[in-house]
Structure 1
Amino acid sequence: MVIDSSSGKEVRTSSGTFLPRGRDKTIKDIEKRIADFSYIPVEHGEGLQILHYEVGQKYEPHFDYFMDDDNTENGGQRIATVLMYLSNNEEGDEPVFPSVKGNISAVPWWNELSEC
């Protein structure tokens, strides 16, 4: 469960798992594509996180960087995120990014670290 540290409310209601870096050939191929796409070496990334959403599940808007010492001491601050969205549905369940125009299947972004 992921909760908001201020309110204690759930911000993610999906199920998911983490896949260790380099786990098998398929994972290595995906990691290489992400590294090529983002210009960040595989060794500087985290393992893949796979999430599954049922109807009505959500992940509230959030920042993708750490605000606690435990996570930053265990690998450093996140500087970028790549979201790959996989679905066989033609419409109605895609992620929403209000400031992005058009449909997207993969998008990198640099995490906002202006306060660091």
Structure 2
Amino acid sequence: MQPSQTAPSATTADLARIARHPGVQRFPGAALILFQQKHFLTPDECAALIGRIDARRRPSTIADANGDSLFRTSETCDLDHGDPFVADIDARIAGWLGIDPAHGEPIQGQRYAAGQEFKPHTDYFEPNGSDYARYCSVAGNRTWTAMIYLNEPAQGGATRFTSIGKTIRPQTGKMLAWSNRRADGSLNPDSIHHGMKVRGGTKYVITKWYRERPWSG
């Protein structure tokens, strides 16, 4: 199947196709389009990604700084798309979603040590934000997010979708994928989520975002 162009919102056919993947789970409710796919990556693939993240990690940042220096305390790594291993995973995510890979940002890795978190936030850029033009003038806003847990911390580190009251615990290789839009194409504030504080051990994830128009860096 050829991937479709990313649209401002997912069509019924798009969602039905995703739901046909073996073992996929769509969370109930109309407030948020949210899927879960266990074992999307193998433990060996996750370990290889963790090694790449540890080699290049740096302090995470946020757009539209809100004055809270503790809002996002993780570390981030921009994975090298020229690495065939990373490129293969990138292609598999796009194929699973049915999104043209040209619309995807480079995959990022995140590392959360004990005590670190990412407080409740949405992945799209607020149109009235001071950095909106900087981040969205070319490729447009973010439409879909895919996030994969690479390990299971000793304690804490769950992802909580605060508006819909859904908490998902890390499981090695498990992917979450959600639309940052409502069915009518408008931005969906119910996509707000909290990378909850790690209480013991370390948490690793990778995150892939897709845009309205092709990504050009």
| TM-score greater than 0.5 by the shorter chain | yes
State the alpha-carbon separation in 1 of the partners of residues 86 and 180 from structure 2: 23
* 2:176 aligned partner: 107
Where does 1:36-115 land on structure 2 (aligned, <5 Å)?
36-67=95-126, 68-89=132-153, 91-98=154-161, 99-100=165-166, 103=169, 105-112=174-181, 114-115=186-187
Q: Give unmatched runs, 5+ long, in structure 1.
A: none
Of structures 1 and 2, the one scoring higher in RCO (CA 8 A, sep 6+) is: 2
Shift of 1:19: 2.1
Secondary structure in 1 matching 2:123:
coil
More strand by share: 2
Structure 1's 29 and 3: CA in aligned 2 closer, same or farther, altered over 3 A? closer
Q: What is the Cα-based RMSD across aligned positions, in Å? A: 2.5
Larger radius of gyration: 2
Q: Does the CA-based 8 Å contact 1:80-1:109 persist in structure 2? A: yes
Q: Give unmatched runs, 5+ long, in structure 2.
A: 1-59, 127-131, 189-217
CA deviations over 1:51-83 (Å, ceiling 9, x no partner): 101000000110101221110024221100001
TM-score (norm 1): 0.80
State the alpha-carbon separation in 1 of the partners of residues 88 and 113 from structure 2: 27
Structure 1's 64 and 115: CA in aligned 2 closer, same or farther, altered over 3 A? closer
Where does 1:5-20 land on structure 2 (aligned, <5 Å)?
5=64, 7-10=66-69, 11-20=71-80
Runs of 4+ residues over 4 Å off in structure 1 = 101-104
Q: Does the CA-based 8 Å contact 1:82-1:107 persist in structure 2? A: yes
